[in-house]
Amino acid sequence: DVLSLLRRTNKQMDHFNYRNGQLYAEDVSVAEIAASVGTPFYVYSTATLVRHFQLFDDALDGMDHCICYAMKAASNQAILKTLGNLGAGMDVVSGGEYRRALSAGIPPEKVVFSGVGKTFEEITFALQNGIRQFNVESDSELEQISSIASSMNKIAPIAIRINPDVDAQTHEKIATGKAENKFGIPLSRAREVYSKASQMPGISIVGIDLHIGSQLTDLEPFKKAYQKLADLTQVLRQDGHNIKRLDLGGGLGIPYEKNQSAPPLPVEYGKMVKKVLGHLDCEIEIEPGRLIVGNAGILVSSVLGVKNGDNRNFLILDAAMNDLIRPAMYDAYHDIIPIKQLSLPEAVYDVVGPVCETGDTFAKKRTMPELSKNDLVAFRSAGAYGAVMSSEYNTRPLIPEVMVNTNKFSIIRKRPSYEEIIERDIIPDWLE
């Protein structure tokens, strides 16, 4: 059937493909970008970003909805501007992300402020400049927002984040909806906290928020959480609260491995949302990040050499764990492919970087074409939580980000020089 066909093709939901034996990003040769920019670097496909946003928009067609991109997945302003031009709002989790969203031209009334530790300065700045809503995580945060808003003669729109105690069946470090997680208010306290909020100055209740985790590959945890949300909506309305907006968070996963069964499609997710929540006549907010940008980006790296050990061979790259932390932090898998489509004997490598850590390992015992010094490789599905989590560990410069649009490419974050990095340090006068 059509859905089965879509699931099979879901694994190629990007615009990075081989042409005449060379990997292309849309209509630009990746080798051409490498020659111009130098490795390592990230490159994003505009066409993939657009396509994935539209998949979600189409999936919720017929419902009043707002898609607020979870910009923690990839926050370069070129990406934000691309999505904002399509009508996307933004889900931010810090004052810095809020400022990035505004700088990229996102209207403040389309910015949702999430996160468990909003500061006085962040709340004040958002109230001064405008906000769609604060997703409130605790009693103390609610009191702080009320105090700040009333002192400014402002009204803060809020949704309270509920922890539904649902196992998202994902990596423990990105599960956010279980009782032991730091996020949200227990479902058992929802009526109490909403009653408290309704009586506080400077507060306007607009809805309910939840988010149970990231990289979900099954709709059932979503369905369980949303059914609890539907029941709570009706209870809170009976209590007299104006629940007009439901923030469902994000979390729909992508396929990282070639043989991995494809996660649910946005169209399937949308059908489930309509079935479980459609009768409530609420505006639906969703906050996808990984599914929009994950397969829209690759990390390109050069082979520094091959080191032969007693019982394994190491493929040493110029990219490292500071450039892509996911394998070291989450034991995450990324498909690693040569830029040239090679017909060579296969070899088995531990794929590693040059950082002085054993944890600087991208893959163990990975079967790949036999590669040599200066060959180029690409890490697929590296658009989400790649560049944003990178660092300058070992005084390695942050690597460039590049965006492709059909047959054009542009550097959207330049590689800093060593001088720029070192000059940030301030030596106290007593050491002069």
Beta carbons within 10 angstroms of residue 374's beta carbon: 10
What lies within 8 Å, CB to CB, of 382 at 6+ separation is 42, 294, 297, 298, 299, 324, 334
Query: Of 271, 318, 314, 112, whose CA–CA distance to 206 is shortest?
Result: 112
Cβ-contact 247, 210 below 8 angstroms = yes
Torsion of CA 319, 397, 406, 61, to 10 degrees: 90
**What span, in angstroms and rounded, lies between the C-alpha atoms of 74 and 291?**
11
Q: How long a stretch of residues is the chain?
A: 432
Q: Fill in the DSSP letter of residue 295.
A: G
Q: At what angle do helices 190-198 and 220-238 cross, to 10 degrees?
A: 50
Long-range pairs for 80-86: beta carbons < 8 A, 24 or more residues apart: 80/104, 80/106, 81/105, 82/46, 82/49, 82/50, 82/403, 83/49, 83/53, 83/292, 86/50, 86/53, 86/54, 86/57
Can you give the C-alpha Rg of the chain in angstroms?
23
Cβ-contact 290, 214 below 8 angstroms = yes
What lies within 8 Å, CB to CB, of 5 at 6+ separation is none
Kindly report the backbone phi and psi dihedral angles of residue 421, in degrees, each rounded to the nearest multiple of 5, phi listed first: -65, -50
Angular region, 357: left φ>0, alpha ψ -120 to 50, beta rest: beta
66, 68, 282, 356: which is the annotated catalytic residue? 356
What lies within 8 Å, CB to CB, of 212 at 6+ separation is 164, 166, 168, 175, 176, 177, 221, 222, 225, 249, 251
Clarify whether 356 is annotated catalytic.
yes
Q: Fill in the DSSP letter of residue 12.
A: T
What lies within 8 Å, CB to CB, of 115 at 6+ separation is 92, 93, 94, 135, 137
Kindly report the backbone phi and psi dihedral angles of residue 362, in degrees, each rounded to the nearest multiple of 5, phi listed first: -90, -30
Query: Of 145, 180, 178, 181, whose CA–CA distance to 160 is shortest?
Result: 145
**What span, in angstroms and rounded, lies between the C-alpha atoms of 368 and 17?**
18
Cis peptide before 157 (omega within 30 of 0): no
Residues identified as active-site: 356
